[in-house]
Chains A and B, each alone.
Chain A
Amino acid sequence: MYNPQAENIIIVKDLVKKFGSFYANDHLSFEVKKGEIFGFLGANGAGKTTAIKILCGLSYPTSGKLNVGGFDIYKEREKIKRNIGYMSQKFSLYDDLTVFENIRFYAGIYGLRRKEIEERAASLMQKLDMKEARDKLIRSIPLGWKQKLAFSVAIIHNPKIVFLDEPTGGVDPVTRRQFWDMIFEASSEGITVFVTTHYMDEAEYCDRVSIMVDGRIAALDTPDNLKKHYGAGSMNEVFLKLARVKVE
């Protein structure tokens, strides 16, 4: 839920990331409020993944001031990593480990105790309706299950923020919606959700949406306000209006 009075959980000021002479992120500035679902949209190659990697402490910016979850991006990267969850487009579950082994592995990395891990795993299996898949290899379970599991694992340590980089690519419409039910639930429990997607109906589920074009933020507002501002009936139209300019 977006609350303008809430504290800023992510603060980005003048973020620049250059690769050679190419500006992947060209002076980005924005804030994300605690507990909101923040949609981070943009065309392929607009610079989204570059920015997410920096926010997660996986790569340094060229310049700019950034604070994530109350920690400085230059000096407190390890603290940031402990306080965030991350799910990438190619979910990072291990294909040749079982469902349970993956849970145990990630929970272990985040320092959960053996007993806690057993409990979390059991309640997760119950919640995801995956009890019979507990000892199956990840490679053998359907994509939709993997996605739900990858998300659950990404928030197993109760992070302040979870970053989702195109979490729903290629799944069927029912699974996509079940996935968003999980996002809503995490958000209602106070986890801030930072999500990228190419499905424009999903952009409508976000509290606020930013649209990146060529390394810059071309627009940032609630879906309703963006639609009003661009005289568009849907987020798809808004996106096409903003992102198509550069192609032509």
Chain B
Amino acid sequence: MPAIVVDHLAKHFSTVKALDDISFSVGKAELFGFIGPDGSGKTTLFRILTTLIVPDMGTATVNGLDVVKDYRKIRKDIGYMPGRFSLYADLSVEENLNFYATVFGTTVAENYELIRDIYSQIEPFKKRKAGKLSGGMKQKLALSCALIHKPSVLILDEPTTGVDAVSRLEFWEMLKRLKNNGITIVVATPYMDEASLCDRVALIQDGKLMAISTPSEVIKTYPWSLFSVKADDIFTLLNDLKSFPGVHTVFAFGQAAHVSFKERNMDEKLLSEYLLGKGHSGIKISPAEANIEDCFMELMIKT
């Protein structure tokens, strides 16, 4: 039985269709990622799955339980980390954790094993008020609180937004360990490198699912021919590339630009001469493999 089944789900707020007829399922112990821009419907979906709001149409189940009828039972089975830091800022680290354990009728001691890896990193600061923690520590505390009642499904809404690269790496290592313990994880992220760490990803925009696939399958569907172009002055390079005949998209990727052509047989020499003519120096052009960010941006601009 899949851990989550969503069937023709819809939700609107006044005239805005936040979720527009979406269907998908998530397997047990799957690490399932949602990527999509702000306002695409991720948070609405997560709130329905966590039984905080009810859908207008369609159904959703978690562990076979209906999100509307069986909401009380579901709440015992899921751990939820909302996008906004929602712990008590004026309680200490330890007090927050005890509070969440008590609310769910358990104790920290009983489930300590599950959170040990994560919690041990913030335990030296357990007397500190949660509001005084750094971003990375807040997120570790929030994850500990979401796990303390031993849920079988974890729902994480942009847990790493505003978090530094080191803490992000550690956070994803923890998610992998939790997955290996059999926990199903649904996670939303704006970081494309994180999307590629998921078993499957769903791309969502304007309340619609645009694609659901493994990261490697998503990459295979990239339709155009792609080049990586470098020059000394990246800002003028980006602008000049945009006006080169036949160019489909131009996006900066670190110190290079990714340029796509719908035409298969793009002449690199022609582009090189064009850039020289515009006064560029240090020009390097090479064919590039699309990554998940290229694919996502292609899907975004298509709609």
Contacts and interface: CB of A to CB of B under 8 A. Distances in A.
Nearest to B170: A247
A235 interface: yes
B147 interface: no
Interface stretch (A100-108, A124-132, A171-179): A171-179
B224 to A, nearest CB: 16
A171 B164 contact: no
A198 B163 contact: yes
A44 B135 contact: yes
A89 interface: yes
Most buried by B among A42, A45, A89, A235: A45
A46 B235 CA distance: 30
Given A45-B136, A188-B235, A170 B38 contact: yes
B38 A205 contact: no
Contacts of B164: 42-44, 46, 198, 239, 243
Contact of B296 (A1, A173, A184, A234): A173
Interface in B134-165: 134-137, 158, 161-165
A38 B192 CA distance: 24
A44 B134 contact: yes
Given A170-B190, A188-B235, A243 B134 contact: no
A223 B255 contact: yes
A239 B166 contact: yes
A221 to B, nearest CB: 14
Interface string B161-187: 111111111100000000000000000
Nearest to A1: B233
A248 to B, nearest CB: 10
B106 to A, nearest CB: 29
A188 B234 CA distance: 12
B252 A205 contact: yes
Contacts, number: 105
Interface string A183-194: 011011000000
A143 B87 CA distance: 24
Interface in B167-217: 167-170, 190-192
Contacts of B254: 201, 204-205, 234-235
B300 A172 contact: yes
B39 interface: yes
A205 B234 CA distance: 8
A89 B190 contact: no
B36 interface: yes
B235 A170 contact: no
Given A45-B134, A243-B166, A181 B190 contact: no
B39 A243 contact: no
Interface residues of A, number: 41
A187 B192 CA distance: 27
Contacts of A247: 166, 170
Contacts of A181: 235, 238
B234 A45 contact: no
A46 B162 CA distance: 14
A180 interface: yes
B234 A169 contact: no
A173 B194 CA distance: 13
Most buried by B among A174, A205, A234, A235: A174
B38 A172 contact: yes
B238 A144 contact: no
A200 interface: yes
A230 to B, nearest CB: 14
A198 B162 contact: yes
Contact of A174 (B137, B168, B234, B297): B297
Nearest to A247: B166
A172 B190 contact: yes
Contacts of A235: 254
Nearest to A141: B39
A173 B192 contact: yes
A239 B193 CA distance: 15
Contacts of B253: 201
Most buried by A among B161, B168, B234, B254: B254
Interface in A105-127: none
A154 to B, nearest CB: 19
A187 B236 CA distance: 12
B112 interface: no
Contacts of A171: 37-38, 190
Interface of A: 1, 42-46, 89, 142-144, 166, 169-175, 177, 180-181, 184-185, 187-188, 198-201, 204-205, 223-224, 234-236, 239-240, 243-244, 247
Given A172-B37, A187-B235, A201-B252, 16 more contacts: A43-B134, A45-B134, A45-B135, A89-B162, A143-B38, A144-B38, A170-B158, A177-B251, A180-B252, A184-B235, A198-B162, A198-B164, A200-B165, A205-B254, A243-B165, A244-B169
